[in-house]
């Protein structure tokens, strides 16, 4: 055996030793990550499970179908708050969806080319983009304060579904704009070029090809917004008021499930009712997340087929 | 000689300050196949896009000289109307995420046709012209994305035909296809040339030899500005090129 081959044998031996060590090191880190993962999942299961178990006993048909009695006792059910939640979600999205989708379409499809010639327009558009980024990270109570100042007092809409929906629309607008922007950006330029080359106008291209292709993404943004409106409290505390009656017009006050939960927990001793309301809320959120999952899976399936 | 369908006179194109095409004058004959060949980056695809004003979509592009179709300045024509007359097939097949039927009916629909019976007629005629009808006639409702690459490309050709253009621009239409699908496309180009003026960009010298009646050789030097070196009948370009650079290129000495 010459010198070189014995040297190589030594290197191989050292490599084998090192590999054993690396395997041990890897096992350690993987085990640690498993642990962290398990802790996170357990916390989630614990919270959701606790609310569902505790709250589940309070839920029955009567609880779901009778209105709250009001007052400090916290007696009664949650029927009107479920109704108010649906009204508010519907009204908020009715305002926010066209605004958000329209704004995103402008920013992605038109702003670039229209601002080419003008420095002023270009800086306006970069400000708009920055504003969307920033607005997405602002705490909801700020929107609440703004909504209170503008819609409730200045415009004299009072504590009402309308004030709350307008403030809520401000809250979810960044979400809708961002998800729509991403959905539009995900549409391959090949589609746009193909359509234009066939003699379609830009608007026909957008309306007939780009928008249909980005619909699943836009719907994801809308569903995310639904979840946001269902789960927010602070913003609606200062815009929707707290009436436990069923609103009969958009100028009526009301309380959503989450808001009702807040009142129950803070102002009454009806802890079981609060838990029951929480359980209903959690189930609603879970259903919405399943819906998002379903829709976005459809979206990615569509994208994969393009490749 | 032949009627001229497309013509450029001292045509130059700039991306911002960069000059991508320089002083190109060419007369492309009607109802013939003209191939644009040349090394990568010589501007032949850019030149192709000049005929349906797709370069207008790229920020910072401006041009000098003129481009004529049937003797008319294309910059005086509404680009949307121009593109209904000058169809285009892209390098990568780009079917819309719609059914085969809707892909073909797209062009007629955007030009205002609503009558379903008429649309059915157009879809069948276009698919027949693109030699795809027999393969898809029972599955017109199937997504265009589910077709094979070669079928997708023929569908894109059918889609372009459905608008009744007189010119079809093809930007390396077979570059992403296997040899058999490529042959089918080439046969198709040959058939279509009876009724359409076809301009095709290709990297494949044999392809130019097989399908093109005329061939234009583009070349670029260190300046990266594309220029037209030679334009003639394909036979002459391949057997007795006048320019040394053309000869070097087609004999495979560079590029």
Q: How many residues does chain B have?
A: 255
The set of residues, in sequence order, having a beta carbon less than 8 Å from that of A127 and lying 6+ positions away, is none
pLDDT of B18 > 70? The answer is: yes
Q: Considering its fold, how many domains does chain B have in total?
A: 1
Give the per-residue pLDDT at A99.
Answer: 96
Is B79 among the domain residues?
Answer: yes
Structure token digits, residue B71: 């003797």
CATH number for position B77: 3.40.50.300
Q: Is residue B107 part of a domain?
A: no
Helix B100-110 and helix B149-161: axis angle, to 10°? Answer: 20
Residue B127 lies in a domain: no
B96/A201 touch (CB, cutoff 8 Å), yes or no? no
Best to test chain B binding among A113, A115, A194 (most B CBs inside 10 Å): A194
How far apart CA A45 and CA A37 sit, in angstroms, is: 12
Query: What SS3 class is residue B15?
Result: strand
- The pLDDT value recorded for residue B120 is 96
How many CB contacts within 8 angstroms connect chain A with chain B?
A: 74
Q: What is the pLDDT of residues B79-106, one digit of tens each?
A: 999 999 999 999 999 999 999 999 999 9
Question: Across A134-288, where does the E strand assignment appear?
Answer: none
Distance CA A80, CA A65 (A): 8
Residue B188 in any domain: the answer is yes
Residue B200 located in a structural domain = yes
- CA of A198 to nearest chain B CA: how many angstroms apart? 6
Tell whether B135 is covered by a domain. no
Which residue in A has a C-alpha nearest to residue B163's C-alpha?
A: A198
Residue A122, pLDDT > 90, answer no
Quote the pLDDT of residue A304: 44
Mention every residue, 6+ apart, whose C-beta is less than 8 A from residue A89. Answer: A226, A229, A230
The CATH homologous superfamily for domain A61-306 is MetI-like (1.10.3720.10)
Residue B241 CA to residue B255 CA, distance in Å, equals: 17
Residue B181: give the domain boundaries: 4-95+165-250
Which residue does chain A place closest to B156, by CA atoms?
Answer: A194
Q: What is the pLDDT of residues B203-252, one digit of tens each?
A: 888 899 999 999 999 998 878 889 999 999 999 999 999 999 998 888 87
Query: B4-15 and B167-171 as β-strands: parallel, antiparallel, unpaired?
Result: unpaired
Distance CA A146, CA A151 (A): 8
Site of tokens 């027999």: B134
pLDDT at A86 over 60: yes
Token pair of A75 as six digits: 């007696």
Nearest Cα neighbor of B254 from B21, B35, B209, B245 is: B245
Least trusted range by pLDDT, from A248-257, A262-271, B143-152: A262-271
Say if the Cβ atoms of B81 and A199 lie within 8 Å.
yes
Sorted by sequence, the CB contacts under 8 Å of residue A203 that are 6+ apart come out as: none
Average pLDDT for residues A279-299, to the nearest whole number? 85
Mean pLDDT of A42-54: 93
Residues B155/B100, Cβ–Cβ less than 8 Å: yes
Res. A172: pLDDT tops 90: yes
Instruction: Tell me what pLDDT residue A307 has.
Output: 35
* Cross-chain Cβ contact B83/A197 below 8 Å: yes
Identify all chain B residues contacting A194, using CB atoms and an 8 Å cutoff: 90, 94-96, 156, 159
Q: Give domain status of residue B134, yes or no.
A: no
Whether the CB-CB separation of A226 and A251 falls below 8 Å is answered with: no
Residues from chain B contacting residue A300 (CB–CB below 8 Å): none
Q: What is the pLDDT of residue A1?
A: 62
Nearest Cα neighbor of A85 from A220, A258, A225 is A258
Q: What is the pLDDT of residue A299?
A: 65
Listed in sequence order, the residues at least 6 apart from B16 whose beta carbon sits closer than 8 Å to its beta carbon are B60
What ipTM does this complex have?
Answer: 0.91
């Amino acid at each position: 055996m010459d010198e070189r081959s014995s040297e190589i044998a030594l290197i191989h031996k050292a490599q084998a030793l090192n590999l054993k060590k690396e395997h041990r090191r890897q096992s350690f880190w993987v085990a640690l990550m498993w642990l962290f993962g398990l802790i996170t999942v357990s916390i989630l299961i614990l919270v959701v499970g606790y609310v569902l178990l505790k709250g589940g006993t309070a839920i029955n048909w009567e609880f779901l179908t009778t209105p709250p009695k009001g007052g400090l006792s916290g007696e009664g059910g949650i029927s009107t708050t479920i109704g108010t939640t649906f009204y508010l979600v519907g009204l908020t999205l009715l305002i926010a969806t066209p605004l958000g989708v329209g704004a995103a379409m402008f920013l992605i499809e038109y702003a670039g080319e229209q601002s080419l010639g003008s420095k002023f327009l270009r800086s306006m558009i970069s400000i708009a983009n920055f504003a969307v980024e920033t607005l997405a990270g602002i705490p909801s109570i700020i929107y609440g304060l703004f909504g209170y100042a503008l819609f409730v007092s200045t415009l004299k809409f009072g504590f009402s579904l309308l004030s709350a929906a307008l403030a809520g629309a401000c809250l979810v607008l960044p979400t809708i704009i961002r998800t729509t922007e991403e959905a539009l950006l995900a549409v391959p330029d090949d589609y746009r070029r193909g359509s234009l080359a066939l003699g379609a106008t830009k608007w026909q291209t957008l309306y007939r090809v780009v928008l249909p292709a980005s619909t699943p993404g836009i719907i994801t943004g809308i569903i995310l917004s639904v979840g946001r409106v269902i789960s927010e409290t602070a913003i609606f505390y200062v815009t929707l008021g707290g009436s436990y009656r069923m609103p009969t017009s958009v100028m009526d006050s009301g309380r959503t499930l989450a808001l009702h939960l807040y009142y129950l927990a803070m102002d009454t001793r009806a802890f079981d009712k609060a838990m029951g309301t929480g359980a209903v809320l959690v189930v609603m959120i879970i259903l919405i997340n399943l819906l998002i999952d379903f829709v976005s899976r459809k979206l990615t399936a569509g994208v994969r087929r393009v490749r | 000689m032949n009627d001229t369908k497309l013509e450029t006179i001292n045509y130059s194109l700039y991306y911002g300050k960069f000059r991508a095409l320089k002083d190109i004058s060419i007369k492309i004959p009607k109802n013939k196949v003209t191939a644009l060949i040349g090394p990568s980056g010589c501007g032949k695809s850019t030149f192709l896009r000049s005929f349906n004003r797709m370069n207008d979509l790229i920020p910072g592009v401006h041009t000098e000289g003129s481009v004529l179709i049937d003797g008319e300045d294309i910059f005086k024509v509404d680009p949307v109307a121009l593109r209904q007359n000058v169809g285009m097939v892209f390098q990568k097949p780009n079917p819309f995420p719609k059914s085969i039927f809707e892909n073909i009916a797209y062009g007629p629909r955007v030009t205002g046709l609503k009558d379903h019976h008429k649309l059915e007629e157009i879809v069948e005629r276009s698919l027949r012209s693109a030699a795809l009808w027999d393969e898809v006639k029972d599955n017109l409702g199937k997504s265009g994305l589910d077709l094979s690459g070669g079928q997708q490309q023929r569908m894109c050709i059918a889609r372009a035909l459905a608008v009744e253009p007189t010119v079809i621009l093809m930007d390396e239409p077979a570059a992403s296809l296997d040899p058999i699908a490529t042959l089918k496309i080439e046969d198709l180009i040959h058939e279509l040339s009876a009724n359409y003026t076809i301009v095709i960009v290709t990297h494949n010298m044999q392809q130019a030899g097989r399908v093109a009646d005329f061939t234009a050789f583009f070349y670029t030097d260190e300046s990266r500005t594309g220029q037209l070196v030679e334009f003639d009948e394909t036979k002459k370009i391949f057997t007795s090129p006048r320019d040394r650079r053309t000869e070097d290129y087609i004999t495979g000495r560079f590029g």
